[in-house]
Amino acid sequence: MAVKEVYIAVIGAGGVGKAFLSQLESLSTRLSRTPSSPKLSLILLSSSKKVLYTHKYTALSLGNTASSLAQSAQEPLSLPQIIEYLAAAPSKAVLVDNTSSQDVANQYPAFLAKGISIVTPNKKAFSGTFKLWQEIFGAASTSGAKVYHESSVGAGLPVISTLKELVDTGDEVTRIEGVFSGTMSFLFNSFAPTEGSGGKWSAEVKKAKELGYTEPDPRDDLNGLDVARKLTILARLAGLEVASPTSFPVQSLIPKELESVSSGDEFIENLPKFDSQMEETKAAAEKEGKVVRFVGSIDVGKKEVKVGLEKFDRSHPIASLKGSDNIISFYTKRYGTNPLIIQGAGAGGEVTAMGVTGDLIKVLERL
């Protein structure tokens, strides 16, 4: 690696952001033992309310960064100010976006155009308009800045890198299907288990939030949009020009009566009143000796994408998933009738941060 120092700016210090900061500290210590590796300097850390940064690009201490941020008296910088600050850094800079913000995502082309690389678990940029997708990869190819988003699908599971490799090596992906949400997997595995009776739907939703599996607003999981965003990303990588996550059928599990509540907290508070709706869905599957699961699929040849509930025999691999596990099957010309399958935890701070840190290592290797 020719670059001596790499400047890192982190936006978002929630469940994933905190785990990333701790992995960054370990990575930085490990790299400092190899003289040819660059020094990693954290120069900015921001939440939506506060920021920590130094005007002269002096590295912030990597221990206790999240609590130092909480005590900071500095107001956050605007996105154009952050771009200007990073673009003027005396060496290469990388933005780590650990938010789920569409506003931050919309600025990726501007960061990349200034040579600032990006690593992120945020799905919003890659599942937004197709125009934004083209602008992001266009800006990266013009400036040479790198952009990686492994954790935007299947958290740290190697889903994006696998699909890219299938496509780049000339395989033909015909179908992608499976369970793409850690939250939905956890909810159905505990609410409608293959053995035993399972917990209350609303209580499991509350647990999924406490475990850090849900989006900042859990309605983004329950309305099916989180899975739709992931399928949009995968379909685009497989060669389909999907216009947006709302351009194909997506089943929502939000009770009609709660569609207009004003906050995620109010939604969780009122959800117990509607537990009977999901109980009916569960009972209908049980009558057929099956369990219900939330799945998605992309048929590349037919250009069809769909997201929603399906019933499965109890012995089916999708029915017997555990915890927050995702299972993603790639059917391709090369793999024939036996798909390439990736399975494991698909949500949670540590496993998601692992994908982000892994992406940062890829950027460092390519600067």
Ligand X SMILES: N[C@@H](CC=O)C(=O)O
In sequence order, what are the residues at sequence separation of 6 or more whose Cβ sits closer than 8 angstroms to the Cβ of residue 327? 178, 179, 317, 318, 321, 341, 342, 343
Residue 327's SS3 state is: strand
176: enclosing H helix or E strand: strand 173-179
Phi, psi angle pair for 107, to nearest 5°: -90, 0
Neighbours of 349 (CB within 10 A): 20
- Pairing mode of beta strands 304-313, 147-148: unpaired
Per-residue mark of binding to ligand X, 196-225 (x: CB under 6 A): -----------------xxx-----x----
The interface mask with ligand NDP, positions 292-311, x = CB under 6 A, is: --------------------
The residues, any chain, with a CB within 8 Å of residue 140's CB and separated by 6 or more, are 112, 146, 147
DSSP 38: P
Q: Give the separation between CA 350 and CA 356, rounded to whole angstroms.
A: 10
Q: Is 69 in the site for ligand NDP (CB under 6 A)?
A: no
Could you tell me the smallest distance in angstroms from the CB atom of residue 9 to ligand NDP?
Answer: 11
Which class for 287: exposed (0-12), middle (13-18), buried (19 or more C-beta within 10 A)? exposed
Q: Is 123 annotated as a binding residue?
A: yes
Minimum distance from CB of 256 to ligand NDP (Å)? 25
Q: Which does 44 bind (CB under 5 to 8 A by kind): ligand NDP, Na ion, ligand X, none?
A: none
**Least Å distance between CB 178 and ligand NDP?**
16
Selected from 136, 159, 253, 354, the binder of Na ion by CB under 5 A is 159
Q: Is 135 annotated as a binding residue?
A: no
38 or 346: CB nearest ligand X: 346
212 is in an annotated binding site: no
The residue from 117, 122, 181, 326 that contacts ligand NDP (CB under 6 A) is 122
The DSSP code sequence of 273-315 is GGHHHHHHHHHHHHHTTEEEEEEEEEETTTTEEEEEEEEEETT
Asked if 127 touches ligand NDP (CB under 6 A), the answer is no
Active site residue 230: yes
Which residue, 28 or 329, is less far from ligand X as judged by CB?
A: 329
Euclidean distance between CA atoms 139 and 137, whole angstroms: 5
16 is in an annotated binding site: yes
Contact between 118 and ligand NDP by CB under 6 A: the answer reads no
Q: Which does 157 bind (CB under 5 to 8 A by kind): Na ion, ligand NDP, ligand X, none?
A: Na ion
Beta-sheet pairing, 117-119 with 147-148: parallel
Kindly name the residue from 146, 209, 230, 282 that is annotated as catalytic: 230
The closest alpha carbon to 218, from 203, 234, 205, 233, belongs to 205
Applying CB under 5 A, which of residues 157, 187, 351, 356 lies at the interface with Na ion? 157
183 binds, among ligand NDP, Na ion, ligand X, none (CB under 5 to 8 A by kind): ligand X
Which residues on adjacent β-strands are paired with residue 177?
A: 297, 329
Does 292 show up as a binding residue in the annotation? no
Helix (H) or strand (E) holding 10: strand 5-11
* Sites for ligand NDP among residues 186-215 (CB under 6 A): 212-213, 215
Minimum Å gap between C-beta 215 and ligand NDP is 5
178 touches ligand X by CB under 6 A: no
Which of 51, 136, 205, 347 touches ligand X by CB under 6 A?
A: 347
Which chain residues interact with ligand NDP by CB under 6 A? 11-17, 46-49, 98-101, 103-104, 121-123, 151, 155, 182, 212-213, 215-216, 347-348, 352
Active site residues: 230
Please give the annotated binding residues for L-homoserine, written as ranges.
215
Please give the annotated binding residues for NADP(+), written as ranges.
12-17
Please give the annotated binding residues, written as ranges.
12-17, 99, 123, 215
